[in-house]
Amino acid sequence: MEESWEGDEQETLYEHQRWVVDPGQAILRIDKFLSHRMENTSRNRIQKAADAGFLLVNQVPVKSNYRVKPGDVVSLSFPTPPFSGELQAEDLPLDILFEDAHLMVINKAAGMVVHPGVGNHSGTLVNALLHHFKSLPGMEAHRPGLVHRLDKDTSGVMVIAKTEEAMTLLAKQFFERTSRRRYLALIWGIPKEEKGSIVGHIGRDPKNRQQFAVFPDGRDGKHAVTHYELVESMGFVSLVHCRLETGRTHQIRVHMKHLGHPLFNDPFYGGNAVLRGENSGSYKSFVQNCFQCIPGQALHAEMLGFQHPATGEMMEFSSEPPEGMRELLQRWRMFAQQR
């Protein structure tokens, strides 16, 4: 998905978004298709935008009952209130793995929010970037330098664009799935197969709009594919590598839960309870102590590979899990050895 926020010649701002429908998308009413892709936007608002001629498919206005199909280019505009906040620069430390005139690669800390939002007005990666750089592409959309994102409690490698050209070419690689991303995750249980692929559309959970869910029939959500491989078994938990073929919100967390193996200490998807193991007080105390090692889900973006937007060189960056996650793994390894 490509996003931009544009203003007209009047005082009213317009929000404009554009999607290219995935090859695996089932035929679906466009208002329902969009309601799963736009946070805090109702189907009624989308329908009104369509009635006003602001909903286009392949540059032609359509009504809200139009059925999208793979390959359709969907764009939507409607009035939206001006951004009421102001992005503030903050002198926050950044763990920089690489930097040149075009981009910067960082190792994001667990617990750091990527960009300001409701309840997170400061202390974010964006606040830190504004301190380090006078200007970055994407300022008008309040996403300076951001090509992709990681969840708050997910640590690991991220790339930041420093020029408009780098932003465009890096975003194109993520959109076309030519970038390479590998994650390290601690999950509950041991998968039946040592390696495999999880294929299932991901969309907002109709029972809890703050969460996402898998829709196997493909009638809701976005096409999503996660490849996993078992790295190490440690009693009642396992360490796995996950490689993303697509990049949906909470993708690994949702797909692994769907497989029956939620991420350890994931508060959104039930991983912060004792899901496997012994029925004893000492074991439960051990697990609770393990939860204290990390702020949230045990997930680390271990490797990121992409083509440099200026030189064309294939680049690959990796980072070790943060101290808390290393401590967590060590505790489970010792537990497994003692069983």
To the nearest 10 degrees (0 to 180), the angle between helices 323-338 and 281-291 is 160
44 or 158, which is more confident:
158
8 or 48, which is more confident:
48
CATH superfamily of 96-178: Pseudouridine synthase (3.30.2350.10)
204 or 302, which is more confident:
302
| Domain 2-78 and domain 181-338 have a common topology | no
pLDDT of residue 82: 36
Pick one of 3.40.109.10, 3.40.630.10, 3.40.50.300, 3.10.290.10 as the CATH number of 2-78: 3.10.290.10
pLDDT of residue 80: 42
Sketch the domain layout of the chain as residue ranges.
Answer: 2-78, 96-178, 181-338
| Residue 119 reports pLDDT greater than 70 | no
Would you call 51 a catalytic residue per the annotation? no
Q: How many residues does the chain have?
A: 339
* Global pTM value: 0.76
Cβ proximity of 261 and 215 under 8 Å: no
Tell me what the mean pLDDT of segment 144-155 comes to: 93
| Residue 270 reports pLDDT greater than 70 | yes
Tell me what the mean pLDDT of segment 96-103 comes to: 98
pLDDT digits over 277-287, tens only? Answer: 999 999 999 99
pLDDT of residue 224: 94
* Cα separation, 34 vs 42, whole angstroms: 9
Cβ proximity of 283 and 216 under 8 Å: no
Tell me what the mean pLDDT of segment 62-66 comes to: 93
CATH superfamily of 181-338: Pseudouridine synthase (3.30.2350.10)
Task: Point out the catalytic residue in the list 31, 151, 205, 220.
Answer: 151
